[in-house]
Amino acid sequence: MTEVVTAAMKSFSLRNFSDNFLRSFARFRRRLPSSKDRLVPYLAVLGPGIIAANAGNDASGIATYSSAGAAYGYVLLWIFIPMTLSLFIIQEMCVRMGIVTGKGLADLIRENFGVRWTTLIMLALLIANIGVIISEFVGIAQASELFGVSRFIGVPFAAGFIWWLVVRGTQKRVEQVFLAMSLVFFCYVASALMAKPDWGEVASGLFKPHLSDDHGYLFLIVALVGTTITPFMQIFVQSSVVEKGLTKEDYKIVRADVLIGTSFSIMIAAFIVIATAATLHKSGIRELDSAATAAEALAPVVGIYAKYLFAVGLVGAAMLAMGVLPLATAYSLSEALGFEKGISHTFREAPIFLGIFTTLILIGAAVSLIPHIPQIKLLIFTQSLNGVLLPFLLIAILRLSNNRELMGEYKNSFYFNLAAITVVVVCSALSIALIVKTIIEGVF
């Protein structure tokens, strides 16, 4: 009898303990946010860094990467490793300034360096950006013709769609469409895999730096830097963070957004080089006159599907940059001049901002319809111009992000600052070396 009672008491106490434990766990679980609740805030913040970094892989970028792969094979792949770190450092400083100050880059430059410095930087950005905007529309024109569509249909349609999206859309809708456009870059991964490259040579080019004093080699390195770390990207990413209303509480997520965007965009750029190195360079094709020519040249080597994959990537890349580039230019000029700006504003609320955007769209579309534009020369020239102008903007970013009065506890740390200064010095040295070598070869 005693044994029965004892067993019943044990069963009762275990049952009570189990019930109490389950009830306590249920109360604790209800206090935790659901996986959806935890994920949504992260997804809401992600965007500016990914879009800005991928916009660098535009029509001009694709042409530059294709030229590098065709001319030098895999030997220039090593440059993408330091460029990944450099792009992350620069964009991280910009988004940090955006969330701490709540102001765009041009706003901060005007307020801290005065009108002369602002005018110099904005004029340089305007010249470089107009050239690149034209090249994006040229890319659309040539890509549309790869599919048998006249440029006189393809270009106006693309221009009209981008204009309608930005002028009539909201900041959230524009960002969602731009993020969707970024998915098209996977076409270049497929193109590279279809080319069946020698992965041993790819690894050698990636991890064994190859240096040369050849003018074309140096020119392409500066062009690669110019197309991967472009001034307009820094303007756009900081202004986007500000317009999105992100704050210091979002800093860690914004930083992750920059890291994801940087890593993805550089990976895509490397795959473009791999695709053209494994096909065009191997077949003896060393020079290209357009990004569309690179797509055409892939067909007899790899197959017609590679050509169309390359062309689809070109269309998506150009469309993304067609929106981001004019927006970055409109942001920078409006901020520098102190005018109202923002995608969510109407023409009545921000006439200068949307007027600049509209004018740049019209210029790019009109010039791209002129036949026989030397696209590759235009593209590589504008990217090299970006590479030469970039140090001026980097110096401004570096000084602003080290301003304790402006940034407080969010100013650059010692080690981060050391890395940032190295990036500025290397970019400046590359630009000066290119200018000096060009002058010497031109004179002698």
Backbone angles phi, psi at 411, to 5 degrees: -65, 165
Do the Cβ atoms of 34 and 245 come closer than 8 Å?
no
Which range of 71-80, 127-136, 256-265, 300-309 scores highest in mean pLDDT? It is 71-80
Q: Which tens digit of pLDDT belongs to each residue from 96-130?
A: 999 999 888 888 888 888 877 788 778 777 877 88
Residue 56 in any domain: the answer is: yes
pLDDT at 373: 66
pLDDT at 17: 42
Burial grade of 304 (CB within 10 A; 0-12, 13-18, 19 or more): exposed
The neighbour count for residue 147, using CB atoms within 10 Å, is 11
Tell me how far the alpha carbon of residue 345 is from its chain's centroid: 24
144-158, 185-199, 331-345, 353-367: range with lowest mean pLDDT: 331-345
The dihedral sign for the CA sequence 282, 77, 373, 178: positive
195-204, 258-267, 310-319: range with lowest mean pLDDT: 310-319
Residue 5 in any domain: the answer is: no
Residue 1 clears pLDDT 60, i.e. is over it: no
- CA dist., res. 14 & res. 307, Å (int): 69
Q: Which tens digit of pLDDT belongs to each residue from 281-297?
A: 887 777 776 666 677 66
pLDDT at 418: 92
Compute the average pLDDT of residues 386-412: 84
Residue 24 in any domain: the answer is: no
Pure H helices in 102-148: 105-146
Which residue range forms the structural domain that includes residue 90? 40-443
Strand runs labelled E in 33-108: none
Residue 275 clears pLDDT 90, i.e. is over it: no
Compute the average pLDDT of residues 363-387: 71
Residue 17 in any domain: the answer is: no
Compute the average pLDDT of residues 237-264: 84
Residue 306 in any domain: the answer is: yes
Residue 25 in any domain: the answer is: no
Burial grade of 346 (CB within 10 A; 0-12, 13-18, 19 or more): exposed
pLDDT at 203: 92
Residue type, 426: V
Residue 4 clears pLDDT 60, i.e. is over it: no
Compute the average pLDDT of residues 48-71: 77
List, as own/partner pairs, every contact residues 159-163 make where C-beta atoms lie below 8 angstroms and the sequence separation is at least 24, other chains included.
159/322, 159/361, 159/362, 159/364, 159/365, 161/319, 162/319, 162/322, 162/323, 162/361, 163/357, 163/358, 163/361
Residue 80 confidence class, pLDDT cut points 50, 70, 90: very high
Q: Has this prediction a pTM greater than 0.85?
A: no
pLDDT at 97: 92
List, as own/partner pairs, every contact residues 335-340 make where C-beta atoms lie below 8 angstroms and the sequence separation is at least 24, other chains included.
335/103, 335/104, 335/105, 335/106, 335/107, 335/110, 335/239, 336/106, 336/107, 336/109, 336/110, 336/118, 336/119, 336/122, 338/110
For the chain, the domain total comes to 1
Residue 379 confidence class, pLDDT cut points 50, 70, 90: low
Length of the chain: 444
Residue 195 in any domain: the answer is: yes
- CA dist., res. 330 & res. 359, Å (int): 10
pLDDT at 362: 92
Q: Is 321 left (phi over 0), alpha (psi -120 to 50) or beta?
A: alpha
Residue 18 confidence class, pLDDT cut points 50, 70, 90: very low
Angle between helices 351-368 and 304-337 (to 10 degrees): 140
Residue type, 3: E
Pick the more confident residue, 422 or 315. Answer: 422
Residue 82 clears pLDDT 80, i.e. is over it: yes
Tokens 């940059």 locate to 321
Pick the more confident residue, 122 or 47. Answer: 122
The neighbour count for residue 437, using CB atoms within 10 Å, is 15
Average pLDDT value for the chain: 77
Residue 28 in any domain: the answer is: no
- CA dist., res. 308 & res. 314, Å (int): 10
Burial grade of 171 (CB within 10 A; 0-12, 13-18, 19 or more): middle
Residue 380 confidence class, pLDDT cut points 50, 70, 90: low
The structure tokens listed for 16 are 């009570």
Going by C-alpha positions, the residue among 121, 129, 105, 185 that lies closest to residue 361 is 129
Q: Which tens digit of pLDDT belongs to each residue from 153-197?
A: 988 998 998 888 888 877 677 777 777 777 777 888 888 888 888
Residue type, 358: T
What CATH number does the domain containing 374 carry?
A: 1.20.1740.10
Residue 434 confidence class, pLDDT cut points 50, 70, 90: low
